[in-house]
Every structure is written in structure tokens, then in C-alpha cells.
Structure 1
């Protein structure tokens, strides 16, 4: 071959090689898991190019099975999202898998399928939110996931990650601006890739997602909501627990269709003996001690439906939320229903005093700290319960290394304390203006139960039709970094501003730390001076 022809051949070869290198797919977003059932799961990932979507999987690391799926564009550059649904899986079983696009293969990961409710299995859930990027703490979400969630699970439980964590719930604000493509990869998926590759994640949109097309392309959520609003609201069952995803954002929170769907699902859940607990998630709070402007009336309507459901059915419920960047845990007065803010997993903390706040009766604990929430669900047939724990990473003033800063356990079955005894009503030196009610000690036949709340009522009517005084106090009330209930044993109550020369009736009931109310005490009466 002449020299000139050799040079032309070599040049052509180099050009072809360069073109091949450019078109060779690269995994941009590593595999992550969606919409798991006892017999199926969805695997998704993103590549720079390439149409092929293949998952190899099996009961051992040798894999052995293969399933093809689909790919579609992300509406940005040449990148492709891949989606493969694995079916005919065994329930509550660990699997190994890896993804393939062209000649590019991922490493081998694991997942575990959910159980049937009838299997009565116990499991764990992580809930966290508001991990949007903060330039002053750019690695915070990575820290919360890798030094927080993953290290906590490794230390507290035996075995692999999929064996110890069923799902990740995320009530919104995954990124700063949902319409900016790069943020999904760099700020959300990459920092949490070790978690999301082995545990299914179930988000709902926050206001920062901006109803972006990227959100709905990246996630394949259950398609059991209202058809016209696919993936805006949905539910997912895992064992004895039903997870509800709701959209509290502008444009969707005012739709009657969403609340009608919610009521229909709750009505069906009431008849479903397999479901013991309902956990709902939405982005906006009904009440927020750290940031009142973030509250939304829609969330209050959801809370009211969940409260009514729990009292009617005896099935405890929780509503998880975010939006306010700090942790809060409260409980409804008349219902076995928890209020839990699971932020912040990355967004700048809403520090005490920075915004308008309020000390609400419902909330027991509010902390301006980073962290996540662990929910341990006991699926036992005879006596199911769940335990919720706040695992804190602290803040810039006081860092914490996975410290448990709050916990509560709720049983499905009632474990009522004994009704307290109303003892005395004594006037202070200023007569009718100050009356001190005194009741007997807390008593319960259940191990480790303690006095967690008291509810006092005073009325001029013996049947308490119209109340002159109504007070509900918790054994602790952490607000603005102090416990406002410190040293209150909850067995006495000071009443002010009663009418002179009037006869009043009073009663009290006690609650334990597991949300069980006693019956009302005996009714006693007293008369104020002229």
C-alpha cells in the first residue's frame, strides 16, 4: 500500500474510532428502584446515548435471567432514561441485578421484594425531605444519606441494606429548580446512588419541583390515582401498611378530584383487614411551628380525613410533610394520628426566630436540625405497632452524629390507662380568679406506660355542653430550644378568669406516650367566691 493510502486509511480509522468513543453510552444516573410489589419491581437508569434497556437478575450474584424494557428521551441532549419492569418475582425475596445499555454494564446491586400482608413481616421505612441543594452546605444531602441513613442502618441492624430497609419516602423538594436538568443528576440522584440502587424510593412533588416534566420522566409511581392526574396522587401497599402520596402544590391542592380520591381510598382501606396503618405524605404542612407562612389549608383537609379514618377504624395514621426545614413531631388530640415534619435532608435550616412561628398544642418536639426519620413497622398479626425515631445530624451550631432525638411507639390496639381520680379544686389567695384543680396519679396495667398528656375540662353544666375551660398539655413541649413543660407532672391545673359566685363542674383524662387516652375521671364541682 502506498504511503498516501496508508495515511488516508489511518486518518479514516482515527475518525471512526473517535466517533465510536463519542457514541459509546455512559451511565449518567446509576440504577434506582421504583414501584415494588411482591412479584415485580421497576429498574430505571439514565445513559448519555443508547436505546438498549436490559436488566440481568437472579437469586445469586451469577444472575442468570434477563429482561428487556424501554428507553425514552429526557427532553434534554441525547441522554436516554431506561425503564425495565421485572415480573414473576418471589415475594419478600432478595435478588441481585445489573443494567446493560450497549456494551456498558453497571455493577451488581441487590433489592428485596415486598411481602404480602398475610406474611406478617416487620420492616423499616426512611422518610426525609427538602434535600434541595444549599450552596453554603453543598454536601449536606450526601452526608445525610451516606453518613446518616446508610451508616445508621449498618450499625443498628444486621444484614444487607435491602434486608433492613423497605422504602424511602420523600415528601417533596428534591431539587432547587425542577426545570433545570443538571440538578436532578448532580444534586439528587448522584449523592444518594448507593441508597436508591437497592431501596425503592417514593417521592411526591414539592413546590421546588415546579411540576417539571423531568420529575414525571424520572419517576414511575403507582398508577392508581385519578387517571387524568397520573402520578400526582397514588397509593402503595407494603405488608400491613398503606402509603399515600398526595400533591399539595398550587394547581392541584384545590382540585376536588384529589380529596374525593383520598376519601374513596380511605373508605376502601377501612374495609381492608390486611391494612393496619396508613402513612400519608404531602409537601406542605397544615401547621408549622418554625414557619407559619408555609402552612396550607389543603393539608388541614387531608389531616381531618385521616383523623376521622383512624378513629372510625382503629387504624393509626401519620401524615409526613416537609416545606419547613426542620423536624417536628405532634399528635392529634382525639385521634391516633401523628404529624411529622421529616426535613431537612439538605435544604438550609429554618432557624428558630428566623421566621414567624407559633407554639401549637399538637406539637411535642420541634428542632431546627438536619436529619431523617426511621419508622419500624411491626407486622405481627396479634399486636401490630410502629415506632418512629428521629435521627439527627444536628446543625452548624451543634453537629450530631446520628443521635436519636425523639421517638414514639403506637400500637393498633388500645392500651387504655386507668381513669384518673378528680380530687380537689382549691382557690388561691385571690379567690375565684385562680383555681387549682388536683387529680390523682397516673396508672396503667401495661409495661413501661407513662403519663404523657392531660386533658382538663371545666363547665357550668354537669354534662359539659358548653366549656368554660379546655386545656390539653403534653409531658414535654420543646419549642425554641427549651422544654416549656419542664417540671409539670400533669396532675394539677391552674384555672384563671372564671365568673364569680358560680358553680362549675370539672373532669380530667390522662394519655400515655403511645396515644392511648383513659376514660374521663369522676366529675367534681366547686363554687367560686363573690
Structure 2
């Protein structure tokens, strides 16, 4: 039987195995063949002594797996369970136990009516193994079930062929594990699990175990994940003795000396954070563990659809994971492309493995070039991770297969093009040497100014990857004015049609030099420093700081900045100041709300040099650290000059006390239902209040929709008669607009948003606008078009546009190939199929041919008269049907009927054809 690039031969009573190496096969055959027919089992949850085998049938009731260590001696049989999950959805599961580590096994799955061919898999190495190779395939979002496009199936097939060609071996000999970082389905229905995920993974699932991560799409149509939890067998997984508090939602396990930590970006509870901390603590103490890989569906950072990331991962989980030097890589998805970066402070890579799901490309969304993302490549790609356990190295390669901007016929033309490669080496202690800034400043300077670093030097063999320049208003570098990391290459955007190649925005850039542009900083004194990073993600120490004064630039207003608006009692308060008046006795003071500086003395204060004694020299920029234990209440910080009470900057209010915890009893309320907002940890002031605001508005600048006094430390308030809409609740203190809680969003009613079109009829090929209002305000809200009678989430949508989380506005559809027919459109929220608006039905009508009223030869000219549209331009063309059509003239109609006389030379044009077009 020919299977991709090798030949497996199985016979009863004997085991024969032949592999046709790449040099015997010639070039890889990238022609799409589709998943082989027959029962294709699915391996999951590998352990050195066990593995789960699963498959689907329509109605079979028996579940058996025959297995052994040779194809001709399947001497052991294990019977499992069948779960009747729905009509024609029987899910069969068998756990093979008592297996030996790092051993090949042959097996077949069977029921009373169907038997698979004999497949082979290899058990993982023993836990703690630190020798040999361990290889992982990473392949992202599946999602699209369309049987015609079969995008994900193509991606899996190509990945398998490339792996087998690279290593000259069957996939189960080359790969130990397949990781899928979420959105294995478009909606969490049985149809999608069986006919999308299981079917399209059928190229590899019988031979290599697959481990999945929960994405947002798993929760659609299955918010409680009942189907997911019944299909995937992760409930008894542990890692280093740590058990998940919500098995199958987030879980971890160890293979060889590598820990794999699957988190859920959709269930960001305190319990999950505690679990991550427990895994990290155990990893730090485990001598038989060297590596840790984390997965989180929504990524750490993304340069398209900016903001559509996991803030929990970025601000909460990643700092915990970074507590162990064993954590080297985070794998995300959600965005349907490939991206790679390095966290700013930690020696940790992060990637996006976005598979081949819904179209995503440059120019489609809000975009930003972030310095913690080195490459964003809008291709359909997959990754190969190879651990050399002896050398303690991790090598990651990314292979691209297709570009959605290419025509369908040439879309899959990259043929496993290597587009990125990076490595991480453990045990390398030699970071780059401490650099220096070579600039000397003996007098004030005018912008532009170029800061120049000393050359990169290191005792290791690692090349330079990045530089980090900082310019601050203070010598402690707490008040940063410039904070810029640059990599030796930075892929951002593409070249456009026809090739859409990635663009290296740092081509020709010397990252050892950084120019402060004209007007890049206002006049004042600043401090600069630099550090270097190698390709092993290790940073050098910071250089010694260099100070300089800028003159002749812009004169900026004085400014105060606080890092937070709410400070717990007894916490120091850092105040950054800029552009002071230049007097030696400029000072900053803190007052209670309502106090008037001058008649009332400050509670605490400092001159800008951080003393209350001799002020010393004049300082314009810097920061102060206030250590005074301020009582609970509202305060403000103010900026004064010349030892007086003349304020030179706007006051900055803040609150000292605990953050109030607000919760809503529901995320979505029915119209007419009472919205209950609970609160705890409040100050208990009689003038404290809870306000309800529409999404997209802000307290102070907009009046609350409704509000109530809180007046106590804990309790609830009921809000009635709220109109249909998207809202949030906020807790304000002392009759003002100082928010001391996190805003809590909720909705009232269904189909809250509104979409509309100017016309219910669209001319084929014409652009058309869709207006919308009262949107939820989430970055991946979208407007989708479906054919009449189709069901969102079941049928494949025809077209869609995201609109960057705006609550109102308009989008323009450019669909020149949209065929005539009847359609409807609606707004959907948060990348789901949850409809949040009315539906608008419309029709696309074909372009009617121009209708001639007269076409007659009169002597030596042709009289042409046709029905016309006033103001429209028409072309009169002629042809002999040999040399094609040529323009005779262009005319603009002024009435509903237009006439032209076109000369004809009968002697030279015995055969002449005429037409009129409005294109």
C-alpha cells in the first residue's frame, strides 16, 4: 500500500516493513490526495506505559483493539467503551496499558462491522530521559469544515510528507507528539469533531498521538465543553505530582524531560493561575525536568487585530511561568498566520501557529509593529520542534505551505518553504558582554541626535539578535521617554500583489545606532543606556548611563504621571515628573481631595531632588518615591514652582484603599430582567455609588444610564428597566468619578446591535456598505454574509469583515465575484457565531445587458440608440472579430435614451461589428 513516501507491507503471520527513502522517491509529491479511506484511529494522551485509541462509527456497539510488537502477531486484545453521543455518532475509546517505554507497537481497531488496517506507533521515552531526540509537530487552527477547500487536511498532509522526507523515516519514527493550540473545530458540535478534527487529522492520528488545547471555538455551541470533555481523555493527567483543578480545561504532563502545560485562554480563573504556579514550583524543584513548553490559544502578542490576545497570559500567567528558567517557549494560535517573538525581559520565545483557518492577511485589520514580535508572516504554516536532549538544545523550524492572497489554483505553492528557524540552548551562561554608549556630550545638543552603541561582543558563539535603547527623564530610568527594542530582522507587512512576500523593515538598519528624531524629545536633560541580546534570548547588562541636555527643541508642558489610580494602604507612590520650570525650589506635594494648596499644607512633599532640605541644582525631569502612609481616601498630586503654590501641571487624582470587587449575577440579562450588581470590599462611604454606562462611554464625560448609592462595605444593587444594550458597571467613590473597581460588562436583551444597508439590492461586482451601531465593542466582532436559508456555524459563511471592536460605524464589502442570489448579513460577536444584531436580507443581481432601441446602417454610418442612464459614461466599440475590440468613442448620456452616429467605411470594413459597454 503506497502511503505518501514510504511503503508499509503487512501480512498475516509475518511482519514486513519497507521504507522508500527520499532519495529513492525523488521530489516530494505535493499533489493533494486526501486522507486515506477506512477507519482511521486517533491516538491521544501518550504515556510511557499507555495510550488512548479512539474512533467514530455511525452505529457500531463493539470496541476492540488488537495489538502487539509485530504486525503479524497482534496477540493482545483490549476492549473499551462506546459512547452513543448522538444519532450516527458512536465514539469508541480504548486505553492500551502495560506498554514499555520507547517501544514500537502495531495495532488495529475493530468493531463488529469494521476493522482498520494495521498501524504502528511508538511509546514515549521513560519519564526523566535526557538522551536522544524528542520531536514535536505544532499545527494550529483547524476550524473550516468546507469539504471543497479542505484547508486543514491539506496542511496536515503536507506536514506529514515534509517530515518523512526530512528524516527519511515514517512519521511515527520521526515525530513523538503533535500539539494543537486550540480551535480544533469551528463550533463544538459532534459533526465538527468527527468530520473536521478527527477526519482531517487522519493522515497522522493513527501513528502519532495528538494533544489539543481549548480555544474559543470549542466553546461555541458547547459552552460547557460537554463534547470536548467526552472526546478528549485528559482528566487523569498530572505533572510532577500536580493535578489540575479543572481537568481537561487546563492540564499538564511530562514526556522525557519536557513538561507541556496546556492552559485555557477562555477560563482565566484564579484557580488556573494557582495551578500554573504549582506546576512552576514543582518544575523548579524537579531534577529530571529540563524544559517547559506552555500553550495558550489566544497569544502573548499579535501585530494584526491588535488587542486580540490573552491579557491573562501576558500579564498574569507569563510572569509566573518565567519564574523557572526551564520555560523556554509559549505557543499560541487564534490568529491565522505565523508569528514569532521574544518576551522583553525573560529568555522566552513566543509563537503563533495559526494553521489554515479563516482568511487573515495584511491590511485587513488594525495593525501595529510591536518590538516583542520579530516576525509576522501571513502564510499558512506549521512548525517542527526538535529537542536534542543530550546537547540540551531546542531547534524550532517553521514551514509555510500556502498564502490566502494567491488565486485558488496557485494558493498551495510554497511546498514547505522554510520561513523561520530559531534555537534555545540550556546551560549557556555567557550572556553578551556589557556594552557602552560611545557618545560624549560636553555641551547641550540640538536634535536629531544619534546614540551609538559599542560593537556586540560575547564569549559564546551566539550572534547578536537585538539591541535595547532607553532614554529616561531620570537617572533611575523610571520615567522612560524612549524604550525601544530592535531585532536584526523585523518582518512586518508584505510586498502586496502579486507575490505578497514578507517585508524586513530592518533591512539596512544598523541596530547599534538609534536616532532621536527632530522634535522627538522636548528640551531638557535626559539619560540614555543600551544593552544587547543574543540569539539564545540572553541579555547583557545595561551599559553605564550617558547624560545629555537637549535645547532648541519643542517646549513641552509640565506633566505628572502615576502608575496606578488605586494604591493599597502603605504602598509607596511613585510620581514621574516632566518639564519642570527649572527653578531649584520646584516641588511636588500630595493633598487630600477638596484641600486647597496654600491655605492648607500638603500631607507630604519633596523638592524635585527628593529632599525637603536644601534643593540643590534645578531638575526638570525625573521621579519621586513617596513613602508616607496615606490614610484611606481620595488624594491628588500637584506640581509647584519656586517654593510657592503656583501649579504648573494638571493635578493627578488617585485613591488609597482596596479595590472594590464588582460582579454581575449574569453576563446577559433578558429585557425586563433585573440586573443585580454585587460588591465587596467597598469603603462604605455614604456618597459612594455604582454607575451603569453604555459600552464605549466614560464616567465624567458621559452621564450614567442609571446609578445607585452603595453606602456600605458589601452588598448588591438591583437595576431595573434597562433598555436593550451593552453596559458596564463601575464603582465610584465619594460622589465623584474616581473609579475604584474593575469595570464589569454585561448585556440586556438579545439582538442588541443594528445593521443596515442603503439598498436591498446590490449590482453584481459593485461594492456596498453596511452600517452598524450598538456593537459589543470586542476586537473580533464581525459582520458576516450567508446565503439565504443557511445556518451560521453549520454552513460555511460567504464573506466577513471584522471592524476592530468599534461600537458603531460602517464597513465596505468588496466582492467582485459574489454571484447573483439571495443573501443575509448580521453582526456576530467575539469571533463566534453568536448573532447580536438583526438580519438584513439582500439580493445580488446580475448586470443586465444594454438594450438597443435601434441599430441600423444608414449610408456610410451606423445609427446606434440604446436605453441609457443619465450621467453614466459608455464606450462605443467596433471589431472585425479577428483583431479584437477597439474603442470608437466614449460618451456620457444625458437622458434615458442615447443615440450615436458612427462612421463606417464600407470599402475597407466590409464586415464590422459594433457594441456599447458601460464598463
Q: Are positions 1:244 and 2:261 aligned together? A: yes
Equivalent residue, structure 2, for 1:369: 379
Q: For 1:298, what is the secondary structure of its paired residue?
A: helix
Cα 1:521–1:95 change in 2 (3 A) is same
Give 1:291's match in structure 2, choosing from 295, 305, 309: 305
Instruction: State the alpha-carbon separation in 1 of the partners of residues 349 and 453 from structure 2.
Output: 27
State the SS of the aligned residue for 2:515: strand
Choose 225-234 or 32-41, whichever is displaced more: 225-234
Find 1:218's aligned residue among 225, 231, 244.
Answer: 231
Correspondence for 2:505 among 484, 498, 514: 484
Distance 1:323 1:119 in 2: 33
Post-superposition offset of 1:293: 5.2
Question: Who is 1:335 aligned against?
Answer: 346
Distance in 2, Cα, partners of 1:389 & 1:484 = 22
What is aligned with 2:286? 272
Does the CA-based 8 Å contact 1:307-1:332 persist in structure 2? no
Aligned equivalents of 1:357 and 1:325: distance in 2? Answer: 14
Q: 1:160 to 1:135 in 2, by over 3 A?
A: closer
Which whole-Å CA distance do the structure 1 matches of 2:100 and 2:161 have between them? 29
Aligned-partner Cα distance in 1 for 2:523–2:216: 53
- Return closer, same or farther for 1:136/1:184 CA change in 2, 3 Å cut-off: closer
Equivalent residue, structure 2, for 1:194: 203
Does residue 435 of structure 2 align to residue 420 of structure 1?
yes
1:52 has 2:62 as partner = yes
Give the distance between the partners of 1:191 and 1:501, measured in 2 at CA: 62
Residues 1:523 and 1:296: Cα distance change in structure 2 (over 3 Å) = closer
Structure 1 counterpart of 2:399: 391
Relative contact order (alpha carbons < 8 A, sep ≥ 6): 1 or 2 greater?
1
Map of 1:491-530 to 2, 5 A cutoff? 491-496=512-517, 497-500=520-523, 502=525, 504-529=526-551
> Cα deviation per residue 1:152-183 (whole Å; 9 max; x = unaligned)?
1111113221121111111111122212x222
Q: Distance in 1 between matches of 2:84 and 2:228?
A: 10
Deviations 1:233-278 (A, max 9, x none): 11121112111112222xx22x221111111111111111222221
Deviation of the 1:335 alpha carbon: 0.5
Q: How many residues align?
A: 490
Separation in structure 2 between the aligned mates of residue 462 and residue 292 of structure 1, nearest angstrom: 33
Shift of 1:349: 2.5
**TM-score normalized by the length of structure 1:** 0.86
Q: Residue by residue, what CA displacement relative to the aligned partner does 1:450-502 show, whole Å, maximum 9, x if unpaired?
A: 22100112345555454443221111221112222221121111125445463
Deviates more, 1:486-495 or 1:50-59: 50-59
3-state SS of the aligned residue for 2:40? strand
Is 1:203 the counterpart of 2:212 in the alignment? yes
Please list every run of 5 or more consecutive structure 2 residues that lacks an aligned counterpart in the other structure. Answer: 1-36, 495-502, 553-919
Q: Aligned partners of 2:175 and 2:119: how far apart in 1?
A: 15
Tell me, yes or no, if structure 1 residue 469 matches structure 2 residue 493. Answer: no
Contact 1:178 1:215 in 2 (8 A): yes
Compute the displacement of 1:519 (Å).
2.2
2:188 is paired with a residue whose SS is coil
Q: 1:331 Cα deviation (Å)?
A: 0.9
Return the offset for 1:231.
0.5
Does residue 1:457 correspond to 2:470, yes or no?
Answer: yes
Q: CA RMSD in A?
A: 2.5
How far is the alpha carbon of 1:432 from its aligned partner? 2.9
Q: For residues 84 and 511 of structure 2, what CA distance do their matches in structure 1 show?
A: 58
Q: Determine if contact 2:39/2:116 at 8 Å carries over to the other structure.
A: no
- Is the Cα–Cα contact under 8 Å of residues 328 and 424 in structure 2 kept in the other structure? no
Rounded to whole Å, the distance in 1 between the matches of 2:434 and 2:148 is 50
SS for the counterpart of 1:266 is helix
Deviation of the 1:322 alpha carbon: 1.2
Hey, what's the Cα distance between the residues in 2 that align with 1:367 and 1:373?
13
In 2: Cα distance, 1:40 partner to 1:246 partner = 23
8 Å Cα contact 1:263/1:305 also seen in 2 = no
5 Å matches for 1:55-94?
Answer: 55-94=65-104
Supply the distance in 2 between the matched residues of 1:519 and 1:228 (Cα, whole angstroms).
40
Task: Measure how far apart 1:520 and its partner are.
Answer: 2.4
- Deviations along 1:168-200, one digit per CA (max 9) or x if unpaired, are 111111122212x22222222222212011111
- 1:41 equivalent in structure 2: 51
Residue of structure 2 in register with 1:317 after alignment: 328
Q: Is the 8 A contact 1:330 1:364 kept in 2?
A: yes
**Structure whose residues are more often helix by fraction:** 1
Indicate conservation of the 8 Å contact 2:177/2:210, yes or no: yes
Label 1:526 to 1:228 Cα distance change in 2 as closer, same or farther (>3 A). Answer: closer
What's the offset of the Cα at 1:441?
1.5
Encode CA deviations 1:390-418: one digit per residue, 9 max, x unaligned. 11013132631101101110112234122
Equivalents in 2 of 1:145, 1:391: separation in Å?
Answer: 12
In structure 1, the partner of 2:789 is none
Aligned-pair CA distance for 1:118: 2.9
CA distance, structure 2, for counterparts of residue 471 and residue 427 of structure 1: 25
Q: Structure 1 residues 425 and 74 mapped into 2: Cα distance closer, same or farther (>3 Å)?
A: farther
Worse overlay, 36-45 or 118-127: 118-127
C-alpha separation in 1, matches of 2:448 and 2:507:
21
CA gap of 1:36–1:154, structure 2 versus 1, over 3 A, is same
Q: Equivalent of 2:154, from 137, 143, 155?
A: 143
1:98 paired residue among 86, 104, 108: 108
Kept after mapping to 2: 8 A contact 1:134/1:347: no
Cα separation, partners in 2 of 1:292 and 1:166, compared to 1, 3 Å: same
**1:425·1:436 contact (CA, 8 Å) conserved in 2?**
no
Alpha-carbon distance in 2 for matches of 1:460, 1:371: 44
Q: Residue deviations 1:270-294, cap 9 Å, x none?
A: 1112222211112112432112253
Assess, with a 3 A threshold, how the Cα gap between structure 1 residues 71 and 28 changes in structure 2: closer, same or farther.
farther
Q: Give the aligned partner of residue 184 of structure 1.
A: 193
Q: 3-state SS of the aligned residue for 1:118?
A: coil
Distance 1:358 1:141 in 2: 28
The offset of 1:37, in angstroms, is: 0.9
**What is the CA deviation profile of residues 332-390 of structure 1, one whole-angstrom value per residue up to 9, with x for unaligned ones?**
0111111211012x31221111111221111011111111111111211xx41211111
SS of the equivalent of 1:305 reads helix
Any idea what SS the aligned residue of 2:438 has? strand
Aligned mates of 2:277, 2:136 — CA distance in 1: 24
Larger radius of gyration: 2
Deviation of the 1:445 alpha carbon? 3.1
CA shift, 1:135, in A, is 4.1
Secondary structure of 2:129's match?
A: helix
Tell me, what secondary structure is at the counterpart of 2:230? helix
Q: Deviations over 1:423-450 (max 9, x none)?
A: 115799x943322111221122333x32
Give the secondary structure class of the aligned counterpart of 2:435.
coil
Q: CA deviation at 1:529?
A: 4.3
Shift in CA distance, 427/63, structure 1 to aligned 2, threshold 3 Å: farther
